[in-house]
Structure 1
Amino acid sequence: MKALIVDDEKNIRERIQSFSIWRELRFTEVEAAADGVEALERIEIVRPDVIMTDIKMPKMDGIELIKQVTSRYPQIKIIILSAYDDFNYAKAAIQYGVKGYLLKPLIREELRQILSKMVSELENEQKGTDAFLKDNEQMLLDITKGERFDQYKPKLTANYYRVMILNFSEFFERNPSLILRKQVTEQIIQYLEGEDIPFLFSSNDLTLLMADVKPISKYDMEKFLQAFLTVISHTAFYPESPVVTGIGNLVANLDEIPQSYHQAVYSYHYKYFEPAQTVFFYQDIGKEITVREEQKADMEEIANIYADKMVSAMIDRTDCSIKQLVDDFFADLPSHHKQRVTSIREQTYKYVLLIHIKLKNEGYVSSISAEHSLWQQIHDTTSLVKLQHVTLDYLEQFKCSMEMMDQQNYNYIVKKAIEYVNKHYQEKITLDDIASLLFVNKTYFSNMFKQQTGENFVDYINRIRIEMSQELILKSELKMNEISEKVGFQSHSYFNKVFKKVMGQNPLHLRKTKQKLG
């Protein structure tokens, strides 16, 4: 056990701390404070079981300290130590539940008697609390799993039941102190013991089984919850406790309690879709809809369709906004409010991963990881809005990575394409062939080539072939169909058409002109 001595005289504090009585009664820590203000700070750190305080002190006197302690920490035992044999102080102390009143100079035996009595009380209270917790926790574990109803029928004799679950995840994320967690837990235990409500505090979830002989209305639940959260918020020194609550429907039989429990779990997870709200009644949300296999297939098809749209937009550099496509994807997920949060996260991950894979197949290897880190980010999202932000942020980063690749590869890719055409112009060359050869998307390559050279890739091939055909026309006796085939044209008529477009005259006219000139 732990104790805190509060006195503005240092020598008195140190003397009382040195008493062997503390060790004999198994007190492991005996801390000290010079006034009420310092005492409140030390209480947060030490969490004493017993406080011994003087009355007359600067900054905050003993009576005010006792008011604060009994309000915030009603489980702490308090002893007054005063140099004034004044009945008014004793009366005020009794009013606030003080367990002992000692006069200075302190007599050790009197302190021993009072402390011994307090230790016994504390031990009995702890035993009672442990038994209460053990029995009720096991009962809730069994009942919410749908087990051992017959065993608990004698204990649960109400006509109506309703399960409430309070999730403290956000609360403890904002306030990660272990001391605070212990403080909140103790306050919950003390408050609920007084209400005689079975509860189970596991991880960050507090499960309560509300029971009554008359129907428990939504108003009844809201009233209880408001009073309960007020106590917790005062304990934690946090004015608006970020605690999310899910409340199942009213049931009239013990074997229906698991149903109310699962509804409560489903309800508080609904915050994912309504981040501004903190209390969710299943009766307001509506009946849970299980996602059937055909719905899952629909979701996968939607992910694939939108992945293709996103890949095309990112490669073609269209004006279509990445943000708009992400918004459209989330808007088209079928009845996403009726799905499990895990399903929404998984489908979003598949959607982004599909985009990553499709872009990789087009030759884009992003420096951004698309596996563990992405899944962790998606898994950690606490709302649908944050999930959309994570998705958009990832795709925007990928787009930037693509643009950097373009900048690095721009000249290289076009140069390689030109080298290939100049060497293989006599062969059949398609846009698909050259894009595959250079490991890039054909549309992306076509746009890049046009931007850098000023002409389309197909026009460039035709121009090179026509230039090569000129030499054959002027220096050889080959027929025109032989020349067109030799420079890579599959059709003689198409050769004539392209030649006239590039040179402004047909190939025969060029040869005749050359012959006339001798």
Structure 2
Amino acid sequence: MYTVLIVDDEPTIREGLKTIINWEEQGYKVLDTASNGREAIDKHHQLNPHLTILDIRMPGLNGLEVIEHLRREGKKGQFLILSGHADFDYAKKAISYGVGGYLLKPVDEEEMVEELGRIKGLLDKEQNLKQRSTNEDFFYREHVIESILFGGQVWPREDVIEYGLDWPLYQVVLLEVYSESHSHMRAEVKREMAELLASSKQGIVFTAGQYIGCLLKQPLVSDEERHRFYDEMALVLKRFSSPVYMAGGSCVLYIQDIEASYNEALHIMENRFFFTEPSVVTMQATSEPSSNEVVGPLRLDEDKLTDTLYYALDIRSKDLLSRVLDDMERVMIQGFYTEHDIKKKITKIAAVALNKLSLHSTESKLIATEHTAMLSSLYQQPTLTALLETLHLQFAKLIQQLGVNSKDTIIKQMIDFIKRNPGDHLKLEVLAEVFNYNSSYLGKLFKNYTGESFNVFLDKVRMEKAKSLLEEGLKVHQVSAQIGYANVDYFHSKFKKYIGISPSAYRDQYKERQ
């Protein structure tokens, strides 16, 4: 839609021109009107219309003087002259100013429509040439950038100036739209980014392998600038419905040094799995460990994490689930594990916890099996944060499916848990961590409720479990291992203390009674 400014000192003509023509049907939109030459110049500056229709004879500056003034300023728009005088000299002078047409008053509607159609053709050609020129400029600029980054070419300063790349500063930002079909939509993403940067005059877009690169003339220095740039890009790319990740290199003074900025951005992007916030991630935005933080990699205790995750599911504790996933994240980051190792280890921990849960009952097995199918999706997550959020969402749903535990006190939950897991290496300190209590306080609560210390209660539960296992015909060392006693002699003495006879004697007596 081309824009129009109508200039005439007669109000009836101005309003008549606005109404007698169906401007939208002709491909135009009337922005405003002006009543004299000076007002026409001012409004032309404000509106920059594609077409100005104006009368030659007006008080003050006449139409030709208005055109002459605007042409001297470099204005490129089309002009259509209206006059009540069929003066050939005026027409010749108007043509010398590049006027698109010349009509006599009173204006005939058909002639006006015909002129508008002809001028629209001229405007279309101008737009096509302008677009072609713009595309060529982008192509050559992109070629300069890519030849420096990937071809090691050195460009003379005059060429850099000619292509409009002589900037005070330069910064490379790399972008990835995370999707399995990213390669198919990369060209479309690049086009939309190029349009945004061109309209805002922020920089040039180029191809950078699996990423899309941006060479910025106004580097993103502050956190606010990095967040704002990310938000602008993410909004434009929202329709692709995929996560967007960005990394920025350091600022450089000369275009020949942009390779250093690119390599830094590339190094950051290769660690995209550890990005934690929606922003352009840079070296200065990446936090370094302080002197009082853990130095050196943390050792991953898979058994402890697996048990704690299983406990969270078993006692239906979303709070414990959140804590164990936070511990996973901390250990994985400070342990300097790779993306592949992290996905492999977390998937294994989750799978073992689900398997242990499935042994409780038929209902638990069905629910656990349903969520086991989810584990393969962990390998598709683009970041550690996304992976843990996926796991948290699935396991919170699992806890909801298991239902709220019927035990109405923390001690009843503990008793139920001990009875179902007597073979685990249970300690009061471990359960205190699981239930988020101080161990000494929890021990007092437990004794007040049961009348026995935690260790005595645990021994009695284990002895009852041992009796049932011996009745099934298991050997003494097998029973000892299953109820959590690594030392068979210690189990033997415990059993005799609580039951009154040795484990083997108890098993023999049971056989005789059958």
TM-score category (smaller protein): 0.3 to 0.5
TM-score (norm 1): 0.47
TM-score (norm 2): 0.47
